[in-house]
Amino acid sequence: MQLSLSLPKFATTRSTANGVRHRGFLKPDAQQICMPSACMQSAVSMRTPVLPGCEPSTSCSTRKARKVAVCASASEGDAPVYVLPPVNDPAFEKEWLQLQMLEWLNEEWPAPTTVEPHAKLAEAVAMAYMKARASGQNDMTDILLALSTQLSASFDFFDTFTDPFEVSNKATEVLMLRDGADVCCANEADKARVGRVTDTFHAQRS
């Protein structure tokens, strides 16, 4: 069975620091998406069963074993979902995601005028994520929708070169990369950044 994870379709207009704008679409509905394919491909390659009952399977992380539930619905035609493990340390989780998003924003758009907006945006993303988790949401599709909705309503993106949908998708990508997920649109620089920032974060807290 070909495993994929479908997320809602979002149209985006992406700006860059030099003013060039690129229009694209985020995660087509009912198709294999380019971002969170999660550990789906890894589960297949490792012959790890994808269980209808959402039993947790060990993720493909080489950094440390985390439990990730990869769930398939009863209908073979339906896409599996990606379920995050419970948050054991909310403060740790918030600070980690905030630092990850800040590093990505500053690397992607290194304009001096965006330093302060990026700091505020990274915090807003982390707060929106923790609000979603505190409400009991752990399915990645639900979290993606919650992030984009919250950021669209509460954050002014005027001083940035991005938008709530691109940021929300990057946040879910980062979370899945941390779990060792096979995220097909993530390049080696993305994976290296997540690992580097995670190491820095642990060092700062030790």
Global pTM reads: 0.67
Average pLDDT, the chain: 73
**Which residues are CB-contacts of 69 (< 8 A; sequence separation ≥ 6)?**
54, 55, 56, 57, 82, 83, 85
**Which residues are CB-contacts of 70 (< 8 A; sequence separation ≥ 6)?**
38, 39, 40, 43, 48, 50, 51, 57, 80, 82, 83
* Distance (Å, whole) CA 149 – CA 141: 12
Q: What is the pLDDT of residues 105-164, one digit of tens each?
A: 999 999 999 999 999 999 999 999 999 999 999 999 999 999 999 999 999 999 999 999
Q: What is the pLDDT of residues 81-93, one digit of tens each?
A: 789 999 999 999 9
- Within 10 Å of residue 144's Cβ, how many Cβ atoms? 25
- Among 86, 85, 87, 102, CA closest to 167: 102
The pLDDT, as a whole number, for residue 180 is 86
